[in-house]
Each structure stands twice: as structure tokens, then as C-alpha cells.
Amino acid sequence: MKLKKNVATSEAGFVFNPGTGDSFSVNQTGAEIISLLKENRSPEEVINLISSKFDAEQIQIEKDLDDFVSQLYIYNLLENQD
Amino acid sequence: MEKLKYERPVIRKMNTGLMNKFGSRIENEPVTQIDGIPVSSLIKKFGSPLFVISEKQLRSNIQNASRIFKTRYPKVQFAWSYKTNYLNAICRIFHQEGSWAEVVSGFEYQKALENNVPGNKIIFNGPDKSEDDLLIASRNNSLIHIDHLDELLTLIDLSDKHKLRPRVAVRINMDTGIYPKWDRFGFNLENGQASNAIARIMNDKNLQLVGLHCHIGTFILTPSAYSVAATKLCELARDVKVKYGRSIEYLDLGGGFPSTNKLKGIYMPGSDTVPSMDQFADAITNTLLGFGFRQDELPLLVLETGRALIDDAGFLLGTVLTNKRLSDGRRAIILDIGVNILFTSLWYDHKISPAQDSVQITEDMVLYGPLCMNIDMIRESVNMPVMEKGDQLVVHKVGAYNMTQWMQFITYRPNVVLIDTESNSHIIRKAENLNTLHSMEQLPEHLKNSGLK
């Protein structure tokens, strides 16, 4: 569950995949998760770090992370996908 | 340190190109109450899923339709189409508002009698009338709409044997310029079947021909088709008068007016595409008034409108079981509402609203039912706020056909609740349970006391 190395991201929530030419926008939580994935954090770490920063139950974050990562997969943004 | 407000993580692909000229169609305005009762209270009290019918809306619909037709034509009679929704409470509301009963089977006929409808105010349609049905209807002076030649010959035979004088109408099918042309019911006008049937009736000493009937189709979006149908019935009535000297008492234009539901395959919502009741009334009454009947011989106009009078008075409340991401990236929401109770989802894109305030972020999603069957899909693609397990929602315009065509399959059929005009709720059909179903089953002796050891 690691973001592709060449994917460009910005703090403002802009994501660019030079491999496909696709651009994406993410909200604040999404941007936070993407930056943690770039740091190669494990899912548990991502959940803990998000829950320490945002006001949400860990179980909710776990469900949303699962869904968010499956979208990253669909958009071809994760390592070892090709 | 105070934590930041959490928002579900969202990623959206940015697309270039022309924008959709219609804008994005979203259905995310929450509907939190029905006739003053919160959706959450209804579900808490009566369970989920739950059919809810608004008596206020029902009465408003029939009163409005009556006003529209009666201000245009002096003799109008509505007959409630039992097959559209034959829950007794619903039928009785229509009968209170002056509607006769329009039935299509012996079972529906008995229901009408039990709803205290006088026999002479029951219209008996349909191709399946048994000899017993015909006898009872004849004795009750009901209006028997003859569907085919075998039925006509049976009725001639029965009336002779039992010394009865049944009041009959002939069901006519015809070309009104619309597709599909309904020609499986009744006698065809263009090929002469209808005239032959009328001749057979007029030559019989017992049968009394009092009406002519047609039902040109369903969910008709072309008011002019009714004008064609009315013209053809008027011409036939005139022919009967000229040939046999008999005045036809009523012309029954059947049903077929659409509701404002959105048919699958039509882009715009039903409210933008469906003609108004006034347009149908104009098409029919202008034809009748302009045909040239003498004032004292104007036929009674009978209408068997069902769907257009009840669809928007019915709601189906449900609950989200889960949401998931499909392998192609689409969002899927699983509801406790299946196609077995929402039969009309096969041909409508029903409007569905969340029943609670939700985030403004919407997604395209597919809505599935709870059945373990691939066909169990309520909406193939709808843009809505993402709902979580336990969230509630409201399916709109489900009053017609669902509570008669539903089937018990995998789960039980749920409660049906009527909200009266003073916002009191009443169960009008109880939810099924295991006992309901077991009460109809029987075990052969050799299978009793058996089981897996």
C-alpha cells in the first residue's frame, strides 16, 4: 500500500500521475493520507496518525481508509500495480 | 490540542471537455418526514423496510382529477382500479371519494363486495372470469366487460339457463397510433370483431349492451391517443344507435394515465416529460363534446385511472445495510429494500432521498437490495451523498402496483402504514412472519418428526 514514486502531490490537494497524465483533487483528509502513504506508513500507523489529528472514531477511519485506498488502486496510483 | 473536524477522504479525477448541458443531476435533498411524522419514528415504530401511504395525498389526487374532468364534461365516473393497489383501506378511501370499483378477477370482485361496493357499481374487466364469477356478477347487476368470444358465448348460455339479464359492455382494442398497440384484450375494432360481438349481443334476448370499453395501454405519454380512442368509441356508439336503435349509456376509456415517475431510458425527470391530467382531460372531453351527441344522450364517461392517482402517495422507507467499493471503482450501497417488494424498480428510476442531513459530497453509486441475487438492483446509477450503515432513506412514488405485485422471497413482506389526514399512523397490512408462511404449508405424515440426526 505505497504510492507510486513518480506521483506528484501538493499540500493544496492536487495529485498528478505522470504515468497516465491524469490529475486528481483530494480533500484535506485525503491529502493527509496520501502524504502518509508516501512515507510508506502501514495502515495501522495511518489510522493512528489520522485519529490523533482529526476528530473521528478509529473504526470510521479504518472503513474510510479501506475505501480510499481501493480508489487509489482504481486510479492506478499505487506501487506494484502495473 | 483540539482535533480538526473530520471529513471522509475523497479523491476526484479531474476531467476536461465540455460540461453536461443539463448540469449534474443530484438527488440529495433529505426528506426527513412524511405528512408531519419523522421517518426515523416511523421506522422505529413499524420496522424497516416500511411502506407508507399518505391519505392526504390520495384524497387530493382523486379530488383534483375529478375536478379536472367534471369541470369539462357533465357526466364523469371514476372507478378505482383494484389491481393497482387493493389494500382494503386504500380501496375504501377511493370509494369514500365516490369511485366505483374496477376489478379483473373473482378475488378482486369479492374484495369489492366486502368493501361495501354495491354490485351495480362494480366494473368487471379481465380475460379470466369463471362461470361462477359471471353468475354472481350478473345477479348483482354489475357491469361485465366482455373480453373474448368464449366469454360472450358462456354468458349467453348462463343467462339463458338462469333467467338473467346481465348488463354488459364490449371491450374494444384498436389502433390509436401508439406503440405498442394493445390488442390482446377484447375485440378488435378494425377487423370487425367488435361489430360482430355487438351484433351477437344485440341479437340475444337477455344480454343488455350498456357500455363500450377500451384500455389503450399503460403509462401513455401521448394525450392525442385518447382523443383517437374516444373518437372511435363515439363512432361505434353512433353505429349501435343507428343500427339497433339503442343508446350506449357509458363509454369507458380505461386507465393508462402516467404518474410522474421517471421511466428507465428517459433522461429528464417525469415531472418534465409527463403530460398533465388537464391535457388528457382536454383530449377526451373535447372529443366527446364535439362528436355531436344530443345533450340528453351524452354518454357517461368512465375512467379506470389507477397509477396516476396513487403513485405519489406511496413511499418506501428503508435502511442502509452497508456500503462498499466495487472492483471497477463504483460505490455500491446495499439497502434492506429488494426488488421483490419494489417491483416497479424494474421499469422506473425511482427518486430516492436520504432521510437525514448528510454531507454535501455526492458520488455516483449503484443501489442494491438485500437479496442474495445478482438481479437485485434498485438504481443502476444515481448521484447521492454517501450513506453509512444504519442511515435511512425514502423511495418516492411507489404507491402503484408494488403492494399488489410484490412477492415473498427470501425475506418477509413488510408493514404497510397509512398516515391519515390528521397525521395519525395506522398499520393497514401487517408484516409477514414465519407463522404467516407456515400457516399455508402442510407436511406429509412421513416427513413429520423428521430432521437431521
Please report the pLDDT score of residue B26 as a whole number: 55
Please report the pLDDT score of residue B24 as a whole number: 55
Chain A residue numbers touching B324 (CB-CB < 8 A) = 67
DSSP secondary structure letter of residue B449: T
Please report the pLDDT score of residue B18 as a whole number: 64
**Closest approach of B322 to chain A, Cα-based (Å):** 11
Please report the pLDDT score of residue B22 as a whole number: 58
> How many domains, chain B?
2
* Per-residue model confidence as pLDDT tens for chain B (453 residues): 788 899 899 999 888 766 666 555 556 789 999 999 999 999 999 999 999 999 999 999 999 999 999 999 999 999 999 999 999 999 999 999 999 999 999 999 999 999 999 999 999 999 999 999 999 999 999 999 999 999 999 999 999 999 999 999 999 999 998 888 888 899 999 999 999 999 999 999 999 999 999 999 989 999 999 999 999 999 999 999 999 999 999 999 999 999 999 998 887 878 888 999 999 999 999 999 999 999 899 999 999 999 999 999 999 999 999 999 998 889 999 999 999 999 999 999 999 999 998 777 788 899 999 999 989 999 999 989 889 999 999 999 999 999 999 999 999 999 999 999 999 999 999 999 999 999 999 999 999 988 887
B330 within a domain of the structure (yes/no): yes
A54 touches chain B (CB under 8 A): yes
Cα distances from B283 to residues B9, B68, B286, B309, in angstroms, run: 55, 12, 6, 18
Please report the pLDDT score of residue B91 as a whole number: 98
Q: Look at B9 and A64 and tell me if their CB atoms are within 8 Å.
A: yes
**Closest approach of B189 to chain A, Cα-based (Å):** 59
Please report the pLDDT score of residue B176 as a whole number: 92
Same domain, B45 and B88: no
Nearest residue, CB atoms, A26 vs list B4, B6, B11: B11
Same domain, B272 and B402: no
Same domain, B334 and B226: no
Same domain, B294 and B365: no
Rounded CA gap, B68 and B277, in Å?
Answer: 7
B246 within a domain of the structure (yes/no): yes
Q: Residue B419: beta bridge partners?
A: B54, B425
Q: Which of B310, B326, B357 delimits the end of a domain?
A: B310
**Closest approach of B258 to chain A, Cα-based (Å):** 41
Same domain, B283 and B342: no
Look up residue B180 and give its three cell numbers: 405498442
B41 within a domain of the structure (yes/no): yes
- Interface probe for A, chosen from B8, B328, B359 (most Cβ of A below 10 Å), is B8
Q: Which of B277, B310, B343 delimits the end of a domain?
A: B310
A56 touches chain B (CB under 8 A): yes
Same domain, B79 and B46: no
**Closest approach of B15 to chain A, Cα-based (Å):** 8
Look up residue B340 and give its three cell numbers: 421483490
Rounded CA gap, B6 and A63, in Å?
Answer: 14
Cβ contacts of residue B189 below 8 Å, gap of 6+?
B172, B173, B174, B175, B232, B236
Q: Look at A53 and B328 and tell me if their CB atoms are within 8 Å.
A: no
Same domain, B410 and B281: no
CATH number, domain at B357?
A: 2.40.37.10
Same domain, B40 and B105: no
Cβ contacts of residue B109 below 8 Å, gap of 6+?
B103, B122, B124, B133, B136, B137, B142
B169 within a domain of the structure (yes/no): yes
Same domain, B146 and B285: yes
Rounded CA gap, B218 and B304, in Å?
Answer: 12
Q: Look at B9 and A26 and tell me if their CB atoms are within 8 Å.
A: yes
Q: For the CA atoms of chain A, what is the radius of gyration?
A: 12
Q: Is the dihedral of CA B435, B437, B443, B449 positive or negative?
A: negative
DSSP H or E stretch at residue B79: strand B76-81
A80 touches chain B (CB under 8 A): no
Q: Count A/B contacts: CB-CB distance under 8 Å.
A: 66
B7 within a domain of the structure (yes/no): no
Q: Look at B12 and A26 and tell me if their CB atoms are within 8 Å.
A: yes
Chain B residue numbers touching A43 (CB-CB < 8 A) = none
Question: What pTM was estimated for this model as a whole?
Answer: 0.91
Q: Look at A30 and B9 and tell me if their CB atoms are within 8 Å.
A: yes
Rounded CA gap, B317 and B44, in Å?
Answer: 11
Same domain, B248 and B367: no
CATH number, domain at B246?
A: 3.20.20.10
Cα distances from B441 to residues B155, B275, B407, B437, in angstroms, run: 37, 47, 17, 7
A15 touches chain B (CB under 8 A): yes
Nearest residue, CB atoms, B13 vs list A22, A28, A68: A22
Q: Write out the residue range of the structural domain in which residue B319 sits.
A: 33-52+312-432
| Residue A81 pLDDT exceeds 60 | no
Q: Look at B9 and A25 and tell me if their CB atoms are within 8 Å.
A: no
Rounded CA gap, B98 and B88, in Å?
Answer: 15
Rounded CA gap, B248 and B211, in Å?
Answer: 5
Q: Give the ipTM of the model, two decimals please.
A: 0.94
CB B39 within 8 A of CB B392: yes
Q: Which of B283, B310, B337 delimits the end of a domain?
A: B310
CA B194 from chain centre, in angstroms, equals 28
Please report the pLDDT score of residue B399 as a whole number: 98
Q: Look at A29 and B6 and tell me if their CB atoms are within 8 Å.
A: yes
Same domain, B163 and B138: yes
CB A77 within 8 A of CB A1: no
| Residue A82 pLDDT exceeds 80 | no
Chain B residue numbers touching A33 (CB-CB < 8 A) = 9
Q: Look at A27 and B10 and tell me if their CB atoms are within 8 Å.
A: yes
Nearest residue, CB atoms, A71 vs list B3, B11, B324: B11
Residue given cell 354488459 in the structure block: B168
Torsion angle, CA of A48/A49/A52/A55, rounded to 10 degrees?
-90
Same domain, B189 and B216: yes
**Closest approach of A48 to chain B, Cα-based (Å):** 13
